[in-house]
Structure formats: structure tokens, C-alpha cells
Amino acid sequence: TAYTSGETGIAYEMEPGQCYQIAAAAATYTNGQEVTAAASGRVAAAASTNVVIGHVDLGAGVSSRVVAAGEQIDVVIANRYTKA
């Protein structure tokens, strides 16, 4: 839908170090795990040659978490790089 005169929008320019809640693909994620942009606008675990966009932040004392498809997880944005 196009904006009409007088309407406004809000957007974020993600910067390294910022934390966002982002919908994730179904999986078990570990704290600090590298993630990449995946299908349906979700993040997923980064594999070799994927572009890493951030790291999972599960909070202090949490080592892993099972996530359902579309569930949001905290992701700290990284300077993007290709995973070796």
C-alpha cells in the first residue's frame, strides 16, 4: 500500500552492537551463535559461506534455547562477514 500525503513511516538502520528481537527459523540456538538472513524474513543458524548478520544473545546463564518457527530471539547486530 502506498503512503498518502501526510502519513509517516518508521524505519531502523541497524548498526553493529545494537540488539533487536528478530523472528527466527525453528531450531535450537546457542548463546553467541552466528545467524544469517533466511527464508520468510527470519534469521537462521549461519553455515559456511553464509553472510553473518549477527549473534544470538540468550542472556546471562542461558546456554541454549529451542525456538519455534517465527518466535523472536535477541540478535546483536554484527559488521556483516562471510562465515568461513
Tell me if 62 sits within 8 A of 43, measured CB to CB.
no
Q: Residues, the chain, total?
A: 84
Q: What are the pLDDT digits (tens) for 65-80?
A: 999 999 999 999 999 9
User: Cα–Cα–Cα angle for 51, 57, 61, nearest 5°?
Assistant: 145
- CA distances (Å), 42 to each of 4, 7, 22, 60, in order? 29, 28, 7, 24
d(CA 1, CA 29): 35
Q: What is the pLDDT of residues 14-65, one digit of tens each?
A: 999 999 999 999 999 999 999 999 999 999 999 999 999 999 999 999 999 9
